[in-house]
Structure 1
Amino acid sequence: MQQPTRLERRIDDVAHRLLRGAPVRGARASAVEVGVFLLKQAWACVFGAALLLVIVAARLWWPDDAPLARNDALTISAVLIQAAMLAFRLETGRELWVIVLFHLTGTAMELFKTDVGSWSYAAEGVLRIGGVPLFSGFMYAAVGSYMVRVYRLFDLTFARYPRRWITAAVAAAIYANFFTHHVLWDARWVLLALVIVLWLPTVMHARVWRRTIRLPLLLVYAGVATFIYLAENIATWAGAWLYPDQLDGWHPVSATKLVSWFLLMIVSVVLVTFVYPPRAPGLSPTRPAVSPSRHPGDGLREGGPDAA
C-alpha cells in the first residue's frame, strides 16, 4: 500500500507533537479520536470540496456578461485544482492514473446520458465535447481522489473481502447497465441484490489515531453515497447541471438517485482496488497520516493501537 505523501508526513509529524499528551482513555480520548477521524475525512475530500466551492462561487458571483463562459471557467478551475494536488504532493503519480480513469469513464457516461436526456448542461463555452463541458469529468475524478486518499489516510484493511475478479465482473455489469437500461431491461435491482450478497460479510478496519474502527463495508458505501447525493443537490442548485424535472425551477434531486450513487460507488471501489489491492487486517501495515503513536508507552495501552 502506498506510503503517505511528503506533505502528509509533515502534517503527521505536527499532529504527533500536538497529540503527544492526549489522554489514553475517557471522554477526552474519545473526542480526540472523533476529531482526528473528521479531519482525515476532510483531508480526503479536499479535491471534491475545492471543486464544489468553485461551482457554488461561480453560481453566486460569476457575471452573466463575462467574456469567459462560466462552464469554461469551471473547467480551467478544475484543471488548476488537479495541478495543485500534484504540485503540493497531495496525490501521487500512481494515484493520478486511477483518477484519470475515473475522469474517462465519467466523461463517457456524461456523453451518453446527456444525449438521451437524463440531464443537461448550459449550452455555453468552448471547452466541451458535444453537450458536455469538460469540467464534468473532474466531478467523477473528485470521487476517485477521495477514494484513493481515504485508503492511505486510514490505512484501510478488510476482513472477508470478495475475490477481485468477481467484484470486477459485478462492477462492469453495473457500469454497462447505466447505458443499457435505456434500451433493455433495467437490472439495477438485481445488481443491487448481488452487491449486498457479495459484500455483506465484509468488514472494513480503519485506523484513526490510537484505535481502529470496524464497520460493515456496505454501511460505509451507503454513507459515502449519501454524502455524494448531498453534494449533487448543492451542485444542481448552483446550476452545474440540471435534471429534466428541475428545468422549470430547482428542487431537491429525487431520493431514488441514492441507489444510482450507491451502485456507482461499487464501480469506484473496484477501480481503486487495482491501485490499492484490499489487504486483510494485520498484513503489511503502513504508517498513515496521523498514525498511531511512535513514542514508547504513549497510547499503546488498552490493547495497543488496534484496540477498538
Structure 2
Amino acid sequence: MDAEFNGTFITLGGFVDLDKYRYLYFVILLTLYILILFTNCTIICLIWIHRNLHEPMYIFIAALSLNSLLFSTAIYPKICIDVLSQKQTISHSACMFQYFLYYSFAGSDFLLLSAMSYDRYVSICKPLHYPTIMGKRTVIVLLTLAWFLPACEVVVATVISSQQKLCGFTTGGIFCNNTFFRLHCVKSAFLTVYGLFVMMNFLVVPSMFILFTYIKIFIITYHSCAEVRKKAAETCLPHLMVLFSFICLVLFDVIVARLESDLSKIVRLIMTLQIVVYNPLFNPIMYGVKMKAIWKHIKRLFCRLVNKRI
C-alpha cells in the first residue's frame, strides 16, 4: 500500500481559467507572498533588535508573525509553481505533509492568541503580580505548547488519512486541506469525530478562554480611570480584531470543505485565497499600526531609509 501511495499524484483542480490568467495569478500571488514576508519579518526584526520590546506581549506578537511566515511558506511556493505549470499536481506524501503544516500552524495561531489574551489579562487585572506570573519561563512554556500541541494532534489525523485508500485523484482546492478527505473511498467515522475533537481544542476552547479573559478585562477597566481604559483599548483592540478575522477564515475553511460540491468554482477559489492571504498579511499590519511602541520603531526605520536615499 505504501508503494502505491508513493506513486500517487493528486490533481489540484481549484484554479479558474488558469490558461487565460496564468501570469496574472503568478504576479499577484508572488507579490502577496513577498508582502507577507516583508511585513512579518519587519515586525520580528524590530522586536528582536529593540530591548524595550522584549516583553511577553511583543514576544507573542513576534511568535504570531513567525507562525504566519511558516504558514505562508507551506502554501505559497507550491501555488506559485502550480500556476506556471501545465499540470497542477502534488504527490500523495507531499499533500499529506502540506495538510499537516497547514492545520498545525493554524492551530498554533489560536493558542498564541490565547497566550496573548492571558498576558493582557494578567497585565491589566493583576498588574502587581505580572512580573512574577509572566516570567521568562512562563513565556517559553506557552510558546512551546502553542507549537507542540497542534502538531501532536494534527499528526494523528495526517497519519490515519495517509493510510486511507483513494478512489478519487482530483480535489477541488488549490492546496491540501480537508477537501482531500473527499477522495477517500470510505468516509472515516473516526476522522470525522477526531476532526471535531481537534476543532474543539484549537478553536472553541481557546475562543471561550479569550472571551472569558476579555470579559474580566472589560469589567476591571470599566471601573478604572480613563488612562487604564485607554491603555487596555490600545493593546486589546488589535488582538480582538485579529481573533475575529481568524475565526471568520476558519469558518471559510470549514464551509469550503463541507459544501465544496454546492459552491461554484470561482466562489471556492475566492474563499480559499482569503484563508491564505488575509490573515498572514493582516496580522503584522494591524499590530504594526495599532501598537504604538512598534509603530514608533517602524516610522523611525522608514525615516532612516528615506534619509539614506536622499
Q: Same fold (TM over 0.5)?
A: no
**TM-score, structure 1 as length reference:** 0.31
> Relative to total residues, which structure has the larger helix share, 1 or 2?
2
